[in-house]
Chain A
Amino acid sequence: MIYLISFTPFQPTFGLAFWSLVIFLLFWWIMSRVAFKPIAEALQKREHDIQSSLDEAKNARMEMSSMKAENDKLLAEAREQRTLILNEAKEQKAKILAEAKEQAKAESSKIMNAAQVEIEAQKKVAMQSLKADVGNMALDIAEKVIRKDLKNDSAQVSFVNTLVDEIKLN
């Protein structure tokens, strides 16, 4: 009643074995050339590229941060330098000013001294000439006075002398 049909799917047949072998080998061969190898390589390359760009980005970030630090350092240095230069300039200025002042002072005092000396000399010369003039004038006066009345009055002679002395003192 219940009969056993031989289980045909499990009976190996020559035809199916032949075609399976041919088709699978072709599939394997063609697919490895057309698809599997290129895709595997593309994936490898992509992974490699992604990794390297990540690494690059990381490196760049690190470089950036180090560069920034350097910049900051440079900036600080520059600022310091600037203050230094400014200070120096200020000092220089003060020094130059002071020197100039001093020089000016020295010059002026020298000029003053020279002027003083000159004045003194001029004064002396003037005095000399004044004295000479006054003497002459006195003589003149005296001559005139004398011409009028020289012989009689000794008191008048002494008075003239006194006058002459007074002129000398001035």
Chain B
Amino acid sequence: MRYITYITFCCFLFIGTGGVFSQAHKHADDLKSIQQRKLDHDHDDHKHDHHGHSHDGHNHKHNHGDHGHNHNHNDGDHKHDHKRHGHASGHGHGDPCAHHDEAYDPTGTAIHHISDGNVYSILDAIRIPLPTFLYAPEKGWDVFMSNKFKVGHHEDGHVSHNGYVMHHGSAYRVVTPGFPQEGNHEHDCFTHKTVKDAKGKDKVINYVMYGGKPYELEARSTFDGGLLGGGITSFYDFSISKNVLSMILVALLLFFLFRSAAKAYKQNPNSAPKGIQSFLEPMFLFIRDEVAIPFIGEKKYMRYLPLLMSIFFFILGLNLWGQVPFLGSTNVTGNLTFTMVLAVIVFFVVNFSGNKDYWKHIFWMPGVPTFVKPLLSVVEGMSLFIKPLTLMLRLAGNISAGHIAILSFVGLIFIFGNLYGTVGNGIGTALAVPLTLFMMAIELIVAFVQAFVFTILTASYIGAAVEEHEHH
């Protein structure tokens, strides 16, 4: 009965979080279109007396040109952009770098902030360079620290290194002929263009401007087979990224916490818990008594307890790490790659623990009419893979949604600021602070609930695999 309550609670949280996320997202988009209309209007007024260059040619550039115009009035980069623009105009091109600083883009910003990166930025001010290991099959490894890119505003690099550049915190490769493949070369801004791919889907292509010409960026390889917009490209990124660094830090933190607790248990074996023990013991006992023992059973739970504890505390640690303000807000547990690895480990542990009864229940369900058996084995066979799949998606979805919701609320400051200037900033802040506060409180609960849900489901899958049936 208790577990039904837990699961219902989690469902509500999931729906609630999703709701806030989609609302915020939609809201941001609506605001963006209003803002766009306003910008278009402004543009009509100032178009000719401003730069006097033509915006024809690329459709996307036209739009971003609009943002650029608006922004050049109150942007710190004003002069710089003008100079570049002048230079580019001399060649007779429309220079996207003149309009480099776009209007605030909530979606792009949110996704940028929850993505993995090759630099660890704190508040867009402190940039901790990270070891970058890039591998391109035809030319081998490139190992360097990511400050080679001279990372600046928006985590965009200003220098290419051996044909790699940094855009929005991630390393990209430029393979178009003409781009220097060796050494460090200063480059201009980044632009992008939306094109329709073969299936008619919108696809964004990023470019880096170098010597006045755009060069296409190639993202790192992903193994989704194009399903999620990625695919195998010309290079692989094995860097100690922002997420990897967070994992290492959280793992070390947990290691030291638990080691000192373990020492205390060893030194005073039969005394009441003290200090760090009092903090960890209730959670430890909760996972043992409410998760491991009820699902796996008194006899076998000790074998699986370390895995369950590792899953619970690692996910919880990373969830909380991502929630701490001004610590980079890394989104490790909201990253599908990380949850996929956990889900795959769970999949192997469950299926390697499966006893005869477990496989019998999957492939030849006892106690049902024979003609139902093949049907059930199809369903059960599918559920083998669906179980880890849901584990993977649930955790990544929840945590990413939470981050996006908070970022959307923070984004209100900039959205209102873009619409109404300083007054808008004030309105945005007045709205964003209570909403963000509320969302962070929710996310604190979600951090615990999602770690718990992942653990309890893992325990239940293991429990089903090792369960012994007396009858049949």
Q: Find out whether the CB atom of A3 lies under 8 angstroms from the CB atom of B265.
A: no
Measured CA separation A49–B331 after assembly (Å) = 43
Chain B 223-243 per-residue mask, 1 if CB under 8 angstroms from chain A, else 0: 110001110000011111101
In the complex where A20-B341, A21-B341 touch, is A4 in contact with B221 (Cβ < 8 A)?
Answer: no
**B192: contacting residue among A3, A24, A28, CB under 8 A:** A3
Contacts of A32 in B (CB 8 A): 306-307, 309-310
**B400: contacting residue among A9, A14, A16, CB under 8 A:** A9
Q: Find out whether the CB atom of A11 lies under 8 angstroms from the CB atom of B307.
A: no
Chain B interface size, under 10 / 10 to 19 / 20 to 34 / 35 or more: 35 or more
Stretch at the interface among B106-114, B363-371, B410-418, B431-439: B106-114
**A9: contacting residue among B60, B63, B114, B270, CB under 8 A:** B114
Q: Find out whether the CB atom of B241 lies under 8 angstroms from the CB atom of A16.
A: yes
Residue of B nearest to A31 (CB): B310
Q: Find out whether the CB atom of B284 lies under 8 angstroms from the CB atom of A39.
A: yes
The B327-346 residues at the A interface (CB cut-off 8 A) are 331, 334-338, 340-342, 345
Chain B 251-289 per-residue mask, 1 if CB under 8 angstroms from chain A, else 0: 100110011011001100110000000001100110010
Contacts of A30 in B (CB 8 A): 255
Contacts of A152 in B (CB 8 A): none
Residue of A nearest to B396 (CB): A10
Measured CA separation A40–B345 after assembly (Å) = 22
Count the A residues whose beta carbon is within 8 Å of the partner chain — how many?
Answer: 43
Contacts of B229 in A (CB 8 A): 6-7, 11
Measured CA separation A19–B236 after assembly (Å) = 13
> Any chain A CB within 8 A of the CB of B75?
no
Max chain B C-beta neighbours (<10 A), residue from A10, A17, A24: A10
> Any chain A CB within 8 A of the CB of B450?
no
Contacts of A8 in B (CB 8 A): 111, 115-116, 170
Q: Find out whether the CB atom of B310 lies under 8 angstroms from the CB atom of A27.
A: yes
Q: Find out whether the CB atom of A34 lies under 8 angstroms from the CB atom of B258.
A: yes
Q: Find out whether the CB atom of B342 lies under 8 angstroms from the CB atom of A24.
A: yes
Q: Find out whether the CB atom of A27 lies under 8 angstroms from the CB atom of B285.
A: no
CB distance from A14 to the nearest CB of B (A): 5
CB distance from A22 to the nearest CB of B (A): 9
In the complex where A4-B204, A31-B258, A39-B261 touch, is A13 in contact with B220 (Cβ < 8 A)?
Answer: yes
> Any chain B CB within 8 A of the CB of A75?
no
> Any chain A CB within 8 A of the CB of B247?
yes
Q: Find out whether the CB atom of B302 lies under 8 angstroms from the CB atom of A40.
A: yes
Max chain B C-beta neighbours (<10 A), residue from A3, A23, A32, A50: A3
Q: Find out whether the CB atom of A1 lies under 8 angstroms from the CB atom of B33.
A: yes
Contacts of A9 in B (CB 8 A): 111, 114-116, 331, 334-336, 396, 400
Residue of B nearest to A38 (CB): B262
Q: Find out whether the CB atom of A46 lies under 8 angstroms from the CB atom of B269.
A: yes
> Any chain B CB within 8 A of the CB of A159?
no
> What is A's interface to B at a CB cutoff of 8 Å?
1-21, 23-28, 30-32, 34-40, 42-43, 45-46, 49-50
> What is B's interface to A at a CB cutoff of 8 Å?
29, 32-33, 36, 60, 63, 107-108, 111, 114-116, 133, 170, 192, 194, 202-204, 220-224, 228-230, 236-241, 243-244, 247-248, 251, 254-255, 258-259, 261-262, 265-266, 269-270, 280-281, 284-285, 288, 302, 305-307, 309-310, 313-314, 331, 334-338, 340-342, 345, 396, 400
Residue pairs across A and B with Cβ atoms less than 8 A apart, 7 shown, are: A1-B36, A3-B194, A11-B222, A11-B336, A20-B342, A23-B247, A40-B302
